[in-house]
Amino acid sequence: MTSKAAVYDTLIIGNGALGLALGFRLAQRGQRIALVGPSARRYSASQAAGAMNGCFGEVTRDLLSSVHGRQKLEMDIAAGDIWEQWCDEIKEAAGVGEISLRRKEGTTIILNGGGTDAVDTENFVAIRQALSEYGRSHQLLEGHEVPWVTAQGGNRPFQGIHIPDEHSINTPAYLVTLETAFRNSGGDLIDGTVQELLSLQTSAAGSVHLTDGRQLYANNIVLAAGALSHDLLTSALPDIAPYVPPVTSGYGASVLLSHGSVPRPPSVIRTPNRAFACGLHAVPRDEGIYVGATNKLQEKPQLFAHVPDLHALLERAMRQMHAGFGTSGVLAVNVGNRPVPVDGFPLIGVIPDTRLWMLTGTYRDGFHQSPFLADRMASAIIDGTHEPLFDSFAPVRAPIQTGRREDLIATAVEHALAVGFEAEWRVSVRWPTRIADLLASKYRAAVEDLHDTITPPPDVLVCMADNDWLKRKLRSYYGVYSRDRSLQERQPKFDVA
Ligand SMILES: Cc1cc2nc3c(=O)[nH]c(=O)nc-3n(C[C@H](O)[C@H](O)[C@H](O)COP(=O)(O)OP(=O)(O)OC[C@H]3O[C@@H](n4cnc5c(N)ncnc54)[C@H](O)[C@@H]3O)c2cc1C
């Protein structure tokens, strides 16, 4: 380091919802912060997000049945409770007055004919159960009471739940305002891409090299680079990276549609999570109606939407949401890459004996969780506060397994079949059972070949069964865990709530 080079208190790599939220909170609390990311937000999940404040709407049967799943729900609830004040703080720091960062019209979950009993009905019941258990306001609707939806034939809703306090964020306005709030609070927003991380030991300031040759120094470095975070970790700390769950890219497409003959949805309208994705949802926006979203695990982040995914999304929007979308135009196609750790849970906390922190792996609901995670991580960095909720999600960890192997295989099969039913396949009535048996055998053989006992979550399992790149990643991560007894002892065999 040259004697003149400034040393930041904290340098954040990644300018998505998480990096920006943390940068804002740290700068506001008086730290000297640099936040590095390309201004176009290449590959970013955040700019493709709905972004629903999905909390109870994200609940699934399986989420409620594991300790880690419950902890994730509690983070979602805690995040939901602070969004209002968070937006007020950002607006004040950005000096933007009455701009609308959130639509506060609630969410209506629909149980419709586009799904299956095994997935949609079970998850719908789990959502209702969680709302009652946590004492949150909601209203049950008969099918004919569900507003706005004009679905065709068998796709009409049978039931609904309106959740008045589950809102949505106006993504473009929010990200711009948060950037301004960060800068106004004294943060340095640096348009660039980090190529290399150096000197991460705790004895001296760490540094990063940017692709344009610049070098920056900081006492703490936070990896919040979304789906690319694990690649950067591997190049910086090749001995430690194998102990951290690899992060895959949950590539997803969504669209912004013009109204055509479709009226504005009175709230977010969505199905439960289904078929490995975050359900079909329509979100009212100032510029039109956002419809999302697809989800496919990929080895590398994607820049463009795949034709079959867009085709399926638009068709479902017309069949299950509103037939009037047949008169709409496509104003924008959004593509993003969710950071998906191979055990399905976030990576939050410091890498032991280094100055490197990780804040990523938030999969489907990182936008919603961002203010909560930013608050708690800022306290950990500045005050050394211990956050109990983060204990389970520390980056260096043995794989989290949220159920027994046979149950995870069964769930994988249910979701795989749900893809077929949602695409309105027509097969003889006895074929779904036969196909289910074949898929179960295929998935069982794939996991047995992978490891004696450890089983990945259903969406990762299904992708792994067809993809060698994912098998390699899982084998190498599970191998470290199997060899290292100290890691084994830190982890329960099965995590059942
Ligand atoms: C289609 C879709 C819909 C979604 N809907 C919702 C929703 O409704 N609600 C919700 O809560 N969540 C939703 N999500 C998930 C949510 O978007 C993510 O969990 C969250 O936004 C992740 O934020 P992030 O800041 O960690 O990552 P990202 O937004 O991916 O940001 C990472 C940033 O790091 C930058 N970067 C990468 N490499 C480098 C480098 N070497 N140097 C510097 N910068 C780098 C990237 O360019 C990017 O801008 C959705 C995601 C998708 C794809």
Cα separations in angstroms, 107 against 147, 168, 247: 11, 8, 30
Q: Whose CA is nearest to atom 35 of ligand 1?
A: 14
Q: Which of 131-135, 351-355, 488-492 has the lowest mean pLDDT?
A: 488-492
Q: How far apart are CA 228 and CA 23, in angstroms?
A: 19
Residue 6's pLDDT is 83
Residue 496's pLDDT is 62
Residue 217's pLDDT is 94
Q: How far apart are CA 345 and CA 194, in angstroms?
A: 25
Residue 492's pLDDT is 45
Which of 52, 212, 228, 393 has the most ligand 1 atoms within 8 A of CB, as the residue to mutate? 228
Which of 223, 338, 368, 372 has the most ligand 1 atoms within 8 A of CB, as the residue to mutate? 338
- Ligand 1 centroid, distance to 17 Cα (angstroms): 7
* Residue with more model confidence, 396 or 199: 396
Q: For residue 399, which of 246, 227, 188, 225 has the smallest C-alpha distance?
A: 246
Q: Band the pLDDT of 153: cuts 50, 70, 90.
A: confident
> What number of CA atoms fall less than 13 Å from residue 409's CA on the CB side?
20
How much is the average pLDDT of 319-325? 96
DSSP state of 262: P
- Ligand 1 centroid, distance to 433 Cα (angstroms): 38
- Residue 7: CB atoms within 10 A of its CB come to 15
- What percent of the chain stands above pLDDT 70? 96
Is residue 229 scored above 80 in pLDDT? yes
Residue 201's pLDDT is 75
Q: Band the pLDDT of 180: cuts 50, 70, 90.
A: very high
Q: Residue 3 corresponds to which tokens in the numbers above?
A: 């004697």
Which of 11, 12, 15 has the most ligand 1 atoms within 8 A of CB, as the residue to mutate? 15
Residue 120's pLDDT is 95
- Ligand 1 centroid, distance to 226 Cα (angstroms): 5
The rounded mean pLDDT for the chain is: 94
Residues enclosing ligand 1, CB less than 6 A?
A: 13-19, 36-38, 41-46, 48-52, 54, 193-194, 224-226, 228, 232, 252, 254, 278, 292-293, 336, 338-339, 360, 362-368
Q: Residue 178 corresponds to which tokens in the numbers above?
A: 């948060």
- Ligand 1 centroid, distance to 362 Cα (angstroms): 9
Cα separations in angstroms, 16 against 19, 125, 208, 268, 419: 6, 33, 19, 23, 30
- What percent of the chain stands above pLDDT 90? 89
Give the pairing of strands 206-210 and 215-223. Answer: antiparallel
Q: How far apart are CA 158 and CA 146, in angstroms?
A: 9
Tell me which H or E stretch contains 74: helix 67-94
Residue 388's pLDDT is 86
- Ligand 1 centroid, distance to 496 Cα (angstroms): 29
* Residue with more model confidence, 2 or 135: 135
Q: Whose CA is nearest to atom 53 of ligand 1?
A: 336
pLDDT one-digit tens code per residue, 46-78: 999 999 999 999 999 999 999 999 999 999 999
| CB 383 within 8 Å of CB 326 | no
- For the CA of 334, the nearest atom of ligand 1: 1
pLDDT one-digit tens code per residue, 114-151: 999 999 999 999 999 999 999 999 999 999 999 999 99
Q: How far apart are CA 70 and CA 133, in angstroms?
A: 12
Is residue 129 packed enough to be buried (19+ CB in 10 Å), middle (13-18) or exposed (0-12)? middle
- Ligand 1 centroid, distance to 244 Cα (angstroms): 19
Residue recorded with tokens 């470290």: 480
Terminal alpha carbon distance of the chain: 50
* Residue with more model confidence, 275 or 84: 84
Is residue 493 scored above 60 in pLDDT? no
Q: Band the pLDDT of 488: cuts 50, 70, 90.
A: low
- Ligand 1 centroid, distance to 198 Cα (angstroms): 24
pLDDT one-digit tens code per residue, 391-438: 899 999 999 999 999 999 999 999 999 999 998 898 999 999 999 999
Tell me which H or E stretch contains 470: helix 468-483
The residues pairing with 289 across neighbouring beta strands, listed in sequence order, are 257, 284
Angle, helices 67-94/171-184, rounded to nearest 10 degrees: 70
- For the CA of 44, the nearest atom of ligand 1: 30
pLDDT one-digit tens code per residue, 430-473: 999 999 999 999 999 999 999 999 999 999 999 999 999 999 99
